[in-house]
């Protein structure tokens, strides 16, 4: 299956782009599409008065809850139908290729449910603390809103993000290869305060958060983490959690795999041993080549991906100035550096990180290049403040084999061809 770069037809990729409706919208944007005659007279979008310049637009309250422009209707979460048996226990993906900055809009945050979206009136919601506490307690949402609260920005990544790529390049688009992640600002109560309200017994070592949904999701969380930086959150990006993100209450477990961030949080049991429930035994354990499996692999290690150009965001402008844009994150803390290669990992340049650099939050990086129009093999490599950097796909497979599914944080390669199409590839 080895090919040298540049060989082979690009027809399929073009057809794919047209079917996805991406190439069509792109053509209208390009100034090159203007006929020669029109160019001589000037751009009619400038020389002729446009409707939006003449007639009144909609007034205030026409859109009491604002939505994106009609011209952004393609910017949506998407799923991969063949991946799961039912939509209620499934996943969709954040359109990373359409986003910039570090904050994910609430309506675009990927979804992962195990029993569908629970619809809960906050007046009917309760949080119970039971087990190894001095006093087993019940809190209403109103009670929780009276604790001192904090605002913190964190990424949430599903442990299975990039899981379909363990055995090789498979999906064309960073939405599918890397889109099980989002990053928002949470408002919530430090879990520590709620646990102290109930009073921890001296042998309290583990927590078991539980969801109120039809899967009654449970995970075991060690006490050190709970007392360190976990939040019980009720807002994201300033507004109430979206139903698909656990409205009215979810657990925030910064830097650790998304499955632990229990949504529709209704109970926290305190214990002296982990529970070894379904989502931490049969799932979310990492089967190695030896047949052994790692468990309690909580931290999401450093990872990055170039979001543009990428297969769903091809280059439409030809050679000249090009913005290479991407995101990086690490469950170990801040991203200290992102290197970008345009030749498949032979040579690297350090990219520019722009915007806030917060621990366990998404980071935005850019590399501004002057493209000569030749083929590129784009890669990005993140380093975190723990001194870890992303392994290559081959390094990761050498260490873990191909059956791990979870925690694939290896370096992604995009093959940018002279015509601007971009493909997900692997390199030697």
Partner 1 sequence: MSKLVKSILISSALLSGAGFGATLVSADDSGKFGLGREATPAEVAAWDIDIRPDGQGLPVGSGNVLDGEELYTNACAVCHGDFGEGVGRWPVLAGGHDTLTHERPEKTIGSYWPYLSTVYDYVRRAMPYGDARSLSDDDVYAITAYLLYLNDIVLDEDFVLSNENFLEIRLPNERNFTPDDRDQEPFYAAKTEPCMTDCKDGPVQITMRARILDVTPGTVDDDAAAGVGGVD
End-to-end CA gap in the chain: 12
Work out whether 88 is an interface residue with partner 1 (CB under 8 A): yes
Quickly list H helices, 182-294: 191-198, 223-228
CA distance 129 to 267: 6
Which conformational region is residue 318 in: left (phi greater than 0), alpha (psi within -120 to 50 degrees), or beta? left
CA distance 128 to 138: 4
- CA distances in angstroms from 419 to 11, 85, 316, 423, listed in the order given: 11, 38, 8, 12
CB of 55 to partner 1, least distance (A): 36
Number of residues that bind partner 1 (CB under 8 A): 124
Q: Which of 245, 285, 308, 325 binds partner 1 (CB under 8 A)?
A: 285
Nearest Cα residue to 119 out of 266, 264, 259:
264
Work out whether 85 is an interface residue with partner 1 (CB under 8 A): yes
Spacing of C-alpha 318 from chain mean position? 29
Contacts (CB under 8 A) with partner 1, residues 252-271: 266-267, 269, 271
Segment interacting with partner 1, rule: CB under 8 A, options 101-109, 293-301, 316-324, 358-366: 293-301
Q: Which of 43, 73, 238, 294 binds partner 1 (CB under 8 A)?
A: 294
Segment interacting with partner 1, rule: CB under 8 A, options 29-37, 48-56, 158-166, 353-361: 158-166
Contacts (CB under 8 A) with partner 1, residues 90-119: 90-91, 112, 114-115
In the numeric block, the tokens 């109430």 are attached to 240
The site string for partner 1 over 376-395 (x = CB under 8 A, - otherwise) reads -x---x-x---xxx-x---x
Quickly list H helices, 79-234: 141-144, 174-178, 191-198, 223-228
Segment interacting with partner 1, rule: CB under 8 A, options 29-37, 52-60, 283-291, 317-325: 283-291
Work out whether 77 is an interface residue with partner 1 (CB under 8 A): no
DSSP 374: S
Q: Which of 95, 97, 120, 176 binds partner 1 (CB under 8 A)?
A: 176
DSSP 202: T
Work out whether 426 is an interface residue with partner 1 (CB under 8 A): yes
278 vs 317, beta carbon nearer partner 1:
278
Beta carbons within 10 angstroms of residue 286's beta carbon: 17
Q: Which of 291, 321, 370, 372 binds partner 1 (CB under 8 A)?
A: 291
Q: Which of 94, 172, 187, 310 binds partner 1 (CB under 8 A)?
A: 172
Work out whether 57 is an interface residue with partner 1 (CB under 8 A): no
Q: Which of 14, 78, 205, 235 binds partner 1 (CB under 8 A)?
A: 78
The site string for partner 1 over 12-51 (x = CB under 8 A, - otherwise) reads xx--x--xx-------------------------------
102 vs 384, beta carbon nearer partner 1:
384
CA distance 92 to 408: 18
HSE-CB of 11 using CA atoms within 13 angstroms:
2
Spacing of C-alpha 156 from chain mean position? 7
Rg, Å, the chain Cα set: 24
Segment interacting with partner 1, rule: CB under 8 A, options 23-31, 237-245, 314-322, 340-348: 340-348
Work out whether 74 is an interface residue with partner 1 (CB under 8 A): no
Q: Which residues contact 350 (CB under 8 A, 6 or more apart)?
A: 337, 338, 339, 340
Q: Which of 74, 146, 319, 352 binds partner 1 (CB under 8 A)?
A: 146
Segment interacting with partner 1, rule: CB under 8 A, options 31-39, 57-65, 135-143, 243-251: 135-143
Work out whether 346 is an interface residue with partner 1 (CB under 8 A): yes
Work out whether 210 is an interface residue with partner 1 (CB under 8 A): yes
Work out whether 428 is an interface residue with partner 1 (CB under 8 A): yes
> Kindly report the CA angle at 61 between 55 and 65, in degrees rounded to 5?
120
Work out whether 282 is an interface residue with partner 1 (CB under 8 A): yes
């Amino acid at each position: 299956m080895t090919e040298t770069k540049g060989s082979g037809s690009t027809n399929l990729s073009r057809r794919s782009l047209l079917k996805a409706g991406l190439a069509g919208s792109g053509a209208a944007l390009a100034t090159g599409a203007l006929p020669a005659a029109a160019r001589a007279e000037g751009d009619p979008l400038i020389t002729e008065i446009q409707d939006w310049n003449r007639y009144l637009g909609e007034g205030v309250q026409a859109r009491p809850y604002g939505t994106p422009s009609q011209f952004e209707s393609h910017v949506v979460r998407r799923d991969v139908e063949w991946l799961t048996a039912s939509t209620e226990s499934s996943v969709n993906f954040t359109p990373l290729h359409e986003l910039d900055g570090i904050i994910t809009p609430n309506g675009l945050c990927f979804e992962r449910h195990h029993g569908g979206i629970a619809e809960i009136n906050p007046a009917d919601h309760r949080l119970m603390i039971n087990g190894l506490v001095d006093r087993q307690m019940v809190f209403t949402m109103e009670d929780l809103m009276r604790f001192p609260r904090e605002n913190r920005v964190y990424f949430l990544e599903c442990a299975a993000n990039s899981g379909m790529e363990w055995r090789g390049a498979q999906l064309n688009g960073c939405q599918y290869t890397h889109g099980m992640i989002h990053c928002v600002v949470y408002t919530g109560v430090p879990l520590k305060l709620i646990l102290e309200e109930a009073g921890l017994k001296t042998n309290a070592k583990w927590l078991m958060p539980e969801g109120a949904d039809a899967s009654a999701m449970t995970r075991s969380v060690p006490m050190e983490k709970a007392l360190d930086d976990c939040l019980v959150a009720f807002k994201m990006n300033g507004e109430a959690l979206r139903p698909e993100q656990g409205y009215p209450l979810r657990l925030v477990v910064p830097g650790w795999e998304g499955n632990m961030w229990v949504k529709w949080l209704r109970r926290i049991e305190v214990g002296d041993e982990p529970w070894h429930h379904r989502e931490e035994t049969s799932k979310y354990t990492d089967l190695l080549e030896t047949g052994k499996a790692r468990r309690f692999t909580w931290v999401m290690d450093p990872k990055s991906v170039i979001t543009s150009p990428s297969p769903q965001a091809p280059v439409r402008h030809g050679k000249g100035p090009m913005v290479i844009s991407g995101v990086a994150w690490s469950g170990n803390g801040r991203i200290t550096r992102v290197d970008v290669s345009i030749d498949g990992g032979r040579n690297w340049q350090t990219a520019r990180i722009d915007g806030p650099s917060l621990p366990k939050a998404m980071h935005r990086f850019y590399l501004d290049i002057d493209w000569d129009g030749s083929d590129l093999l784009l890669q990005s490599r993140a380093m975190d403040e723990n001194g870890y950097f992303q392994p290559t796909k081959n390094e990761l497979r050498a260490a873990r084999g191909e059956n791990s599914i979870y925690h694939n944080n290896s370096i992604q390669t995009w093959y940018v061809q002279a015509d601007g199409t971009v493909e997900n590839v692997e390199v030697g």
